[in-house]
Structure 1
Amino acid sequence: MSASQQDRLSSHFEQSRADVNEYATWIEQQYARPAFQKMQWYYQRQPLLSAFATVFILLGLPPVVIYIGLCLFALTLLLLSALCVVAVVSATIALALGSILLVVLLTNLLLSIFITLSLGAAYLSYKIIIAGYTGGISGARLQLLEFYTAFFSRVQKTNRKFTSPAAGEGKPEGTIDESPSSSPNSTVIVDVDNSESLANIEDRSAEMNLEEQY
């Protein structure tokens, strides 16, 4: 620390001490000394009453201080209790509203599923009615078989995406084995389930055509 900074700090300290002394002197001259002189005057004029007042003040000061402290403590306790009650009530209201929101969302979920299934059923019914109107019972049956095949083929594809290949199977289903051990004329059947379902559709359509001819 340089000398200029020390001089500045010392001058600031001296100025602060002078201000404090001046303020203390002002309090003494304005309040303390007149009060002491007045007490002396009362004591000289009425010593018994002055002694009684002094004793009463000394004895009454502790209860007054205790009373003020208890009031402040009670006020603080009430404020803390009010804050706790507000927090508990707010949490209860939030949980109640959250449960109501959860019930509403679950209801919306079930309603969405119901509406989606209803729209799908309405669309399927419309397609079947149109097919039955244009092609008769055979057209309606073909429309049902087409929907059945498309739906279950989509389900099978979805299951194949989420299932991993078994141990020892290096290639997914539906590919041609091009390993050196396989002969050039050897082939692998692709999507047996889909080919079987298509064959069943063709057989059923042929049977229905035969029934219409007879």
Structure 2
Amino acid sequence: MAPLNFKDFLFGISTKSLCVLNTSIQNSKYIHLDLSENNTSLQKVDVSSSTRLETYITNHIKKHDALVAFGGYNEVRNIYKRSKYFNLGNDSERNIHIGMDLWSDVNSPVFVPLDATVHSFKNNTNFGDYGPAIILKHSINTIEFYTLYGHLSLASIENLKLNQVFKQGEPLGTLGDASVNGDYPPHLHFQIIKDIDNYEGDYPGVCNKADLDFYLKNCPDPNLLLKL
């Protein structure tokens, strides 16, 4: 039998949804959110303002009687234009999101979806960056890969240790607010990484068009695990 490719491996880890937010939130209470440049309703919102973007997202969640908004994988967005960290001009502009965002209330708990050890963590303080982020290392059937959790609270990394062991379902941290999370509405950036290279506490979550093929292969759709 031929070996599974990485995407098939990820999808086959569990037949059920793996949770990174509260397990009491049913999948029916998650609603997809489009933050792409093609969303005409978003074009009326000043997305450079975290407060106004939060109002838009909160209203979207309430309109659909949901608790969490999710989406954003392989999504071209305009919200990064406000930050020089992403917008260097020409073809180097990074505006394609390669993780999944889960938008919820500040201080919402974040949970470990699979047994893991702490690979690295850091407070990424560039404007528009992750703020506090944690990278976990997973090893299943001799296959190693990583998951990244961005836009956390400062408390999430205060007492963390390298190589610290987490079991599936254990609390990892909480969502930060705009003052610490890169100036965004509260949300979790969740990303799968096959090859972490030399990164520690950070890994690109937004790329440019020229590098997209590489990142789509190295960072498959997180919904392969979450199954929302």
Q: What's the TM-score bracket when you normalise by the shorter of the two chains?
A: under 0.3
Bigger helix share: 1
Q: Highest relative contact order (Cα 8 Å, sep 6+), 1 or 2?
A: 2
What is the TM-score with the length of structure 2 in the denominator?
0.19
